Structure 1
Amino acid sequence: MPAPAWLTDRLAGVELFAGLSREQLDWLARTGTVKDLSDGEVLFVEGAPADAFFVLLDGEIVVSKLVGGREQVLARHVGDTLEHQFIGELPLLTSDEYLATALAVGPSSGARVVVYDKSAFFDMLERCPQVCRMLLPVLAGRINAMERQAGRSRMLEGLGMLAAGLAHELNNPAAAAVRATRELRGLAPRLAAAAVEWGRTAEHSELLLLERIQERLDPAEPDPRSEDVRLGPPARRGRDPLAEAEAADDVADWLRERGLGELAELCDDLAEHGVDRAALDELAAGMRPGVLITALAYLAPALRAATLAGDAAEASERVVELVRRTSSYTNLDRAPEREADLREGLEATLALMAPKLRNVRVRREYGGLPDLRAFPSELNQVWTNLIDNAVDAMGGEGELTISTRREGDHAVVEFRDSGPGIPADVLPMVFQPFFTTKDLGKGTGLGLHVSMDIVAQRHGGSMEVTSRPGDTRFVVRLPLSQLSE
């Protein structure tokens, strides 16, 4: 069947086909199928089998992708330049499915395309080698653009995760600090009045006795290096409510036995902060009876104020620790390339992802590793991708083991999850661009590809994966030698 002359002439004006002979253009016109699309009509859908290549003759095509449940516009093709004159080659060459959705836009005439099925597309590349020279640079540019966009998306996801993690972790210490300062504000006038009365009535020996007992009962200074911060009065930590009630009753009984029932309101505070019968007996033995009431009226709020100050200090230390971890993850205060402790980055990433790891048991098996020269923020993105993929594979529940070790002149970081595993026929493709096993809209298919690029290209390392049900392992190897330029 002869080619439509108008279509041959129209294809001759398409830059993709520049330099083709009339015979080649006739073949393209005979082989392709002209398709007119109305406004809003879909050309292909993300996730559908990739079966055609399209050359845009007129109108506009918008390409969009579902990312994180939101539709994201990737490109608008209007046929004015080479890169906007054709679509569909990327999935035909790199994947079995369309990577995005394309539809015609425009209230007037929509769009007109020439459709070449998969077989015709590859015939085109064979019959018209000039097309390859035009198409391949555009293909490379599109892959790079999608990688950059995926990197930005992962960065935004990471920032969102960072914000969620910080909000989750900051909630408890912030609330504790607010509670402590609010109570201190109300306690201050009472403590000041009690201190004035105590200083006015006590003798020197009585002042020294109460000071010794108060020092013994004051909460210990918190260790700012501790990561296990528990907020609350030291005397209460590890004690059950029944024990607390029994201690308060014992103090109340002691007071009643000595005719000091009017001090019953102090029982809870005294008992809570470790004042027991032995301490009370010591006070009674070294003070005049009338002064004992004043001493206890001062001791209870003084101990309470010291505990509240300790709570506020621990909460502040926790906030400082969270800021340190956040800074460690993002490396906002350091040069991009530096000597790095891999375990520091792993711990910062785990802290960041704490909300997502709520139902996952994380096992750490850290072996001895020297620092190595690296780009820590980029490696942290790799750790984030691998941990995120593992949690998704396990459905949010299971066991994740992270181990580090040295093998010769390489540092090795291994991530092992207890998920169902990756099918053997899929395993060789996991690092390929645009390949994903996640549901539509939940993955770009570039997370592992970008991670491999960071490990291999930026750090001269390698990444491999093995998998069977209940045991999937991603192993990252990084050279300990100086990074090449």
Structure 2
Amino acid sequence: MSGTPEQARIEALVADLRKVPAFVDQPQADLEWFVAEAEERRVEVGGITVREDTPADTMFVMLEGELRARRENGPQDGPVFTARAGEVTGALPFSRMKTFGVTGRAVLPIRALAFPASKFPELFQRMPVLSQRLVGLLTDRVRNITREEQQREKLAALGKLSAGLAHELNNPSAAARRSAAALRDCLERLRVAGRSSSLGPEDCGLLAQREEEIRSALKPAQYKDEFARVEREEAIQSWLEAHGVAEAWKLAPLLADANLTDAQLESFARTAGTSLGPELTRFGTLLEMERIAAELEHSTARISDLIKAIKEYSYMDQAPLQEVDIKNSLETTLTIMHHKLKRG
């Protein structure tokens, strides 16, 4: 039995120390020396065990509780280190760490032994087996930190790549959504125009022939600027109003985008007769739908190309060792990194 309260305290701490894997089989006398040289510390939840940028002069043997350590000054995206009961942390033998790089806080009530780094030389002589184990812990810690840093760098690179891809995918997907909404409007206009037309079967055949002639002769609209486009819309609107077409202001932009000439409009009007308004609306809407379909095809093709490039860039569903097409791989990389090329 212990003779004094101090001896009883040391024996109790030695018993706790033997629960730590690194100390479990160490001689009793050496453990008593270790406990005598160490300081028992207790830290409540939220309390600080070590503070960053202070001298790294203490090794901690966790007897109870848990701490988490991270940088609290400067960037907050650094790694988080955790130490639990039964682990050894802080300054370890042969570590080149001069100051603590993190601040440790208790997440569970902590009871630990704080061993001064100044006693490491004597520790090596008294407890060589423990010293080897502590060096192994240091090696493991360096390896884990290196692995975490590599993972953080990979995640950061993945985040940048994902942001760029999201930007690249957003443009064609937004264009596809706009085109789908425009197609819905076109279908509604076609239904209204179909109900309003009074064209007979024979006239329908003649008008269909006239439409094919006009469509085959159409060329893409190339206005030198927006003012020229507006002027053309106003001219078409005036022509429609002169021919008694209702809501000419709605139809004029469609015909301006389709690039119908005055001669083509007159030819269409002669064939359509009194159904000029509904039939011209129908024809202009069909031309617009062709343009929208081309935009949809371009947008979805862009999305498909990006998905294909992602699969090739990430080697999805591919063997780790294979022959590759250098030219194709470079083109894939340029597709993935297109958002960076835009900024030069």
TM-score normalised by length of structure 2: 0.72
More strand by share: 1
* 1:315 Cα deviation from its structure 2 partner: 2.1
Deviations along 1:237-271, whole A, 9 cap, x unmatched? x8643222012123234456xx4242633221111
* 1:312 Cα deviation from its structure 2 partner: 1.9
35, 39, 47: which one pairs with 1:34?
Answer: 39
* 1:337 Cα deviation from its structure 2 partner: 3.9
Residue pair 2:258, 2:287 contacting (<8 A) in 1 also? yes
SS at match of 2:245: helix
Residue 324 (str. 1) matches residue 311 (str. 2): no
86, 89, 95: which one pairs with 1:87?
Answer: 89
In the aligned structure 1, how far is the partner of 2:25 from the partner of 2:284?
94
Corresponding residue number in structure 2 for 1:190: 189
Corresponding residue number in structure 2 for 1:114: 114
In the aligned structure 1, how far is the partner of 2:82 from the partner of 2:137?
13
Q: Which runs of 4+ in 1 moved over 6 A?
A: 18-27, 195-199
Corresponding residue number in structure 2 for 1:144: 143
Distance change (3 Å), C-alpha of 1:19 and 1:187: closer
Residue 300 (str. 1) matches residue 290 (str. 2): no
SS at match of 1:51: coil
Corresponding residue number in structure 1 for 2:3: none
In the aligned structure 1, how far is the partner of 2:112 from the partner of 2:272?
102
Distance change (3 Å), C-alpha of 1:160 and 1:23: same
| Aligned 1:210-221 pairs, distance under 5 A | 210-217=211-218
* 1:168 Cα deviation from its structure 2 partner: 3.3
Q: Which is higher, the Rg of structure 1 or of structure 2?
A: 2
10, 15, 32: which one pairs with 2:14?
Answer: 10
State the AA in 1 paired with 2:176: A
| Aligned 1:70-469 pairs, distance under 5 A | 74-79=81-86, 84=87, 86-89=88-91, 93-107=95-109, 110-117=110-117, 119-121=118-120, 124-125=123-124, 129-154=128-153, 156-157=155-156, 160-161=159-160, 163-191=162-190, 194=193, 200-202=201-203, 207-217=208-218, 235=221, 240-255=225-240, 259-262=242-245, 264-265=248-249, 266-277=251-262, 279-280=264-265, 287-288=270-271, 290=273, 293=276, 296-340=280-324, 341=326, 343=330, 346-347=333-334, 350-351=337-338, 354=339, 362-363=343-344
SS at match of 2:337: helix
In the aligned structure 2, how far is the partner of 1:17 from the partner of 1:361?
60
Corresponding residue number in structure 2 for 1:479: none
* 1:90 Cα deviation from its structure 2 partner: 6.2
Percentage of matched positions with identical amino acids: 23
State the AA in 1 paired with 2:48: V
More helix by share: 2
Unpaired runs of 5+ residues, structure 2, are 1-5
**CA RMSD in angstroms, aligned pairs only:** 4.3
Q: How many residues align?
A: 324
SS at match of 1:334: coil
Residue pair 1:170, 1:319 contacting (<8 A) in 2 also? yes
Residue 43 (str. 1) matches residue 27 (str. 2): no
38, 56, 65: which one pairs with 1:60?
Answer: 65
Deviations along 1:6-51, whole A, 9 cap, x unmatched? 6598398465467877887687567x44141221331213x42452
Residue pair 1:24, 1:128 contacting (<8 A) in 2 also? yes
SS at match of 2:69: strand
SS at match of 2:67: strand
In the aligned structure 2, how far is the partner of 1:125 from the partner of 1:217?
92
Deviations along 1:116-170, whole A, 9 cap, x unmatched? 23x4446645775434421233223233333444444455545555554444333
Distance change (3 Å), C-alpha of 1:289 and 1:312: closer
* 1:281 Cα deviation from its structure 2 partner: 5.9
Residue pair 1:217, 1:303 contacting (<8 A) in 2 also? no
In the aligned structure 1, how far is the partner of 2:98 from the partner of 2:138?
16
Distance change (3 Å), C-alpha of 1:173 and 1:29: same
* 1:78 Cα deviation from its structure 2 partner: 0.8
State the AA in 1 paired with 2:14: R
Residue pair 2:173, 2:299 contacting (<8 A) in 1 also? yes
In the aligned structure 2, how far is the partner of 1:274 from the partner of 1:121?
88
* 1:313 Cα deviation from its structure 2 partner: 1.8
* 1:290 Cα deviation from its structure 2 partner: 2.4
Distance change (3 Å), C-alpha of 1:91 and 1:27: closer
State the AA in 2 paired with 1:182: A
Residue pair 2:198, 2:275 contacting (<8 A) in 1 also? no
Residue pair 2:60, 2:113 contacting (<8 A) in 1 also? yes
* 1:307 Cα deviation from its structure 2 partner: 1.4
In the aligned structure 2, how far is the partner of 1:346 from the partner of 1:247?
43
In the aligned structure 1, how far is the partner of 2:309 from the partner of 2:320?
17
Residue pair 2:49, 2:106 contacting (<8 A) in 1 also? yes
Residue pair 2:59, 2:114 contacting (<8 A) in 1 also? yes
Deviations along 1:250-309, whole A, 9 cap, x unmatched? 3234456xx42426332211112222335446657xx54728936633321111111122
* 1:206 Cα deviation from its structure 2 partner: 5.3
Deviations along 1:163-216, whole A, 9 cap, x unmatched? 544443333322322222222123224336657867835476654442132144
Residue pair 2:199, 2:272 contacting (<8 A) in 1 also? no
